[in-house]
Chains A and B, each alone.
Chain A
Amino acid sequence: MKTDIILAGVGGQGILTIAACIGLAAVEKNLHLKQAEVHGMSQRGGDVQSHLRISDQEIFSDLIPKGHADIILSVEPMEALRYLPFLSKTGYVITNTVPFNNIPNYPDLDDLNKQIEALPNKIAINADKIAKDIGSSRSSNIVMLGAASSFLKIKIEDLENALHQMFDRKGEEIVNMNIKALHAGKDAAAELMK
């Protein structure tokens, strides 16, 4: 069992929180884990990505080879497309549809949506709206984690436990918000998979 995930977004959008949550859940289950992050200059509003690898066997490379990723999990639609060379032929793109537009030449939204629509395996949801609807507009990254959860070979309860570990010190309310966001994302993805 091996799952290779490219996490994508823009600096500050919370992809490392997603990575930390999956990572914690994986380690609790005694799985092998490697997770390469981007620190430093790119964090200032640039594109950021994290290579997250989970396996029951020893993992060698910290980087996922191009063509090997099972999932591209992106909190931003254009960033989802940036990493397509990494995606395997059977891999899934799971992305938020809400653009983060901080550049002058951001693509036309209709064109962007068409590109995503044309992908063979994709789940595209408006994570910002889903997060807002449950009253937790800052949890769109956790909504996206929920949307990817059924692809992870990690039980949803284990992700919940990881959220507890990460957010318990911030109080019960924050933990519950995040768990709610996790489930809302899972449900939204399930709806699209029907």
Chain B
Amino acid sequence: MQKLVLLGDEAIAQGAIDGGISGFYAYPGTPSTEVMEYAQRSKEAQQKGIKNTWSANEKTAMESALGMSYAGKRAMVQMKHVGLNVAADAFVNASITGVNGGLIVVSADDPSMHSSQNEQDSRFYGDFAMIPMLEPSNQQEAYDMAHVGFELSEKFNVPVLLRITTRLAHSRSGVKRMEQLEQLKGSLPKDPRQFVLLPAIARKNYKKLLNIQPALMEASENSTYNKYLDGNDKTIGIIACGIAYNYLMENFPNGCPYPIIKLSQYPIPKSYVERLYNDCDEILVLEDGYPIVEEKLRGFLNTGKTVNGRLNGKLPRDGELNPNLVAKSLGINIIEGNNSPEMVMGRPPSLCAGCGHRDMYNALNEAIKPYGEGRVFADIGCYTLGALAPFNAINSCVDMGASITMAIGAADAGLVPAVAVIGDSTFTHSGMTGLLDAVIRNSPITVIISDNSTTGMTGGQDSHALGRIPEICKGLGVDPEHIKIINPLKKYHEENTKIIADELAHHGVSVVIPQRECIQTAARRKRAARKN
């Protein structure tokens, strides 16, 4: 069959399309964005009428996917790891409702925090929800798992968590396609109350979830994605999870002498681990992310055989794995190249020349000067780069939407005025409820919704906020007198500074909306227009 060259993310999308999906649901977030982008570009997806519109946030995406599953069709929801925090309420409860059509939750972790504020490991969530987890080691497995994951979900009547990491998400390789399945016709759940989590029903459903755990273990034991690869040298037994398997095998071009468990489906297959533990002197656990498997193996008292990994310093406790780190953990000496000379300077990312956020920060910095430093709460997006020189303009970046709500708390504590800086897409993701809080309390805060009319940091996806921000603010109860739209251009600097200064002086909620399209998105739009 036809071989495609795909990013890990794209392989997942293609696998789902071929596996009979009816709807993709997602909010953009590195490194997960390209799943939906591929689904939106795919002609096949269009021909098949597969839904592929961005959602307002990960929670709405997760719930929409669950709704599609309820109606008897196959759905997938994709997010970055911290997005799973946003979707967690729906995610954890979806394991209690169970599914009707197959439901795959894709969570893309970012060890080493290439584009994230933490490196949390989504496998904890899978454990927590007690559902099967798939962790591909390469692009082909990513494709295959998306394809067959629906069937797994339907067989056990639970969502399936598909966990990848940045390196696989954003690496390309050849992928062979499987059979293209038709979409399901759609049907109501057999039990009309399956999805009604009233306590009495939830208790019953939860028992079901507990009762299928041995079957999930059996599925892991029989999974084609888990392999016990025996070796002659029993001094070390290795458990290699997901992509870590590649880093291991990279060091053994002629085959690994040690027994290996290649682990790609969870729960962890117990019989494999028992065999490895009994056969080998020591265990080495290779996993990208947190030491989850390692921790389980060691146990709280750690009285058994030596288990090597991130917890005892054989591997670093944090950060992404790579072939060199794995080599070192096995005592293999790789001769590395020369160090880069001292003259090589860091080149941190920065706001583009001509970006409207720059003009916004210049005006804000000047307007806020009389009040002193330390009162600007920012959010997640390109404008977070306002933390760096030359702006040094913001004092926080925590999670989506936290700017407005942290400003409320700080103002409550006496830091008046407090300022929130949030982007348009982040505002509709998680900022609106916070603004409602501010209105109800009449908090003395100024909210700057820096509107570049796109989801910029992730590459310019459509923003739900487009053309709606002033109306949303009015609808939430912000006094229209204190909703100001400005044009963040150098030539309006004085005027913009004055408007922000006036709103800072207002003792109540005010909203300033600097509105100018992202220069990257604008350039792309113009190029596309020229082509047509």
Contact = CB atoms under 8 A, between A and B. Distances in A.
Interface of A: 10-11, 23-24, 27, 32-47, 51, 59-69, 78-79, 81-89, 91, 102-103, 105-108, 111-112, 115
Contacts of B246: 60-62
Contacts of A59: 173
Contact of A44 (B170, B346, B351): B351
Interface stretch (B64-72, B330-338, B485-493): B330-338
Interface of B: 3, 5, 7, 30-31, 33-34, 114-115, 167-168, 170-174, 243, 245-251, 322-324, 327, 334-341, 343-352, 382, 385, 457-459
Looking at B114, B322, B337, B344, which has the most chain A CB atoms within 10 Å of its CB? B337
Contact of A45 (B114, B243, B250, B347): B347
A32 B323 CA distance: 19
Contacts of B3: 27
B352 A44 contact: yes
B345 A67 contact: no
Contacts of B173: 32-35, 59, 62
B5 A84 contact: no
Given A39-B31, A40-B457, A103-B345, A89 B171 contact: no
A34 B350 CA distance: 29
Nearest to B4: A27
Contacts of A66: 322, 324, 334, 336-337
Contacts of A102: 347, 350
Looking at A43, A88, A91, A112, which has the most chain B CB atoms within 10 Å of its CB? A43
B324 A36 contact: no
A66 B251 CA distance: 12
Given A44-B385, A46-B348, A37 B172 contact: yes
A51 to B, nearest CB: 8
Contacts of A46: 347-350
A10 B346 CA distance: 11
Nearest to A106: B345
B349 A44 contact: yes
Looking at A45, A51, A89, which has the most chain B CB atoms within 10 Å of its CB? A45
Contact of B5 (A33, A62, A67, A106): A33
A112 B346 CA distance: 15
Given A60-B246, A81-B340, A41 B335 contact: no
B334 A112 contact: no
B250 A89 contact: no
Contacts of B34: 39
A84 B338 CA distance: 6
Given A60-B250, A65-B323, 7 more contacts: A23-B5, A39-B459, A41-B115, A67-B334, A67-B335, A89-B337, A91-B337
Given A44-B385, A91-B337, A62 B324 contact: no
Given A67-B336, A82-B340, A84-B338, A61 B345 contact: no
26 contacts: A10-B347, A11-B349, A27-B3, A27-B174, A37-B171, A40-B114, A40-B458, A41-B349, A41-B457, A43-B349, A44-B385, A44-B457, A46-B350, A62-B173, A63-B323, A84-B339, A84-B341, A86-B336, A88-B337, A91-B337, A102-B350, A103-B346, A103-B347, A105-B345, A107-B345, A115-B341
